[in-house]
Amino acid sequence: MTSDSIGWWGVVIGVLAGAIRGGTPFLLVSLGECLTEKSGKINLGLEGVLLMGAMSAYAISYKTGSPWIGAGAAALAGGVLGMLHALLVLRPKVNDIAAGIAILIFGSGIAFYFGKPFIQPSAPQLPGIQLGGWSSLGQIKAALTISPLFIFGVAVAFLMQWFFRTTRWGMHVRAVGDSPAAARAMGISPTRTRFFSIVAGSALGGLGGAHLSLFYPGAWTESISSGQGLMAVALVIFARWNPTQCLWASLLFGGAQAIGPSLQAVGISAGYYLWNASPYILTLVVMILTCSTKRTLTGAPGALGANA
């Protein structure tokens, strides 16, 4: 029990630690969305995937006693929902956005339906990785208790960067996203490549849900997600379809979430509704400043959202 106050440092620590804690779900869903969009498809259903992931992780962790199996179940549940999305958007004449919203409704419906019995019980949580052992301050120790899924997400960000840049499969994904016709001419199957990209992306989104229910805030409730899945789509544009930039963008969003509460904790409370909207306004401003009608954004997949 600590009695020493850290005043304004609390705001700084709060925002930095909040960036990591609150940014992890953003990181995982935006990486998932990045992979999906690089292949030329959009998945707005990641919000439903996130909820399915959070519910399955919590339920399985509670039933088996192992949060790791729970996290695995989240990835699996996300992948299955991703398959359903792929089944829709890989058919002709089906719009990505519409399919995404249908998946959002269905995924949240299934998650809420089967999640009812797991709202009350407490499930075993993922163990935090302690990086703050050097400090005697409780605040620092708590701030530096890192989610294993954050470490995983950082690793995936750099791996995905390498995957797109240097591997043959990464090149296939990019080729399909830029021009399915050209890819087909090269002997790459757009359908198969996109299928795997969507499913793997959704599995990552499911893990983002596992972080919510098994690490921070660490509970299963129907309002556990506050739109992180929908925001993934904006984050990826913010990050210019670049996995390592997804990392920085997610940290920024996570930190922005923590600004309001941290300021109120030191007694500054004006306009918290507007503070709550700050991440969205920030994204919009950055997009306005950096976009242009003259050129497409660097990194933007040429065939994004179009039907093959």
Query: In the numeric block, which tokens belong to residue 32?
Result: 């998932």
Calpha distance 150→28 (Å, rounded): 8
Nearer to another protein, 72 or 100 (CB): 100
Q: How many residues does the chain have?
A: 308
Minimal distance in Å, beta carbon 182 to another protein? Answer: 20
Minimal distance in Å, beta carbon 88 to another protein? Answer: 6
Phi, psi for 148 (deg, rounded to 5): -60, -30
Minimal distance in Å, beta carbon 36 to another protein? Answer: 15
Minimal distance in Å, beta carbon 74 to another protein? Answer: 17
Q: Are 150 and 211 in contact (CB under 8 A)?
A: yes
- Provide the β-strand partners of residue 130: 145
Query: In the numeric block, which tokens belong to residue 7?
Result: 């005043």
Query: In the numeric block, which tokens belong to residue 81?
Result: 């929902």
Nearer to another protein, 248 or 272 (CB): 272
Nearer to another protein, 5 or 166 (CB): 5
Nearer to another protein, 76 or 219 (CB): 219
Nearer to another protein, 6 or 171 (CB): 6
Calpha distance 51→68 (Å, rounded): 18
Minimal distance in Å, beta carbon 134 to another protein? Answer: 18
Q: Are 125 and 68 in contact (CB under 8 A)?
A: no
- DSSP letter string over 151-166? HHHHHHHHHHHHHHHH
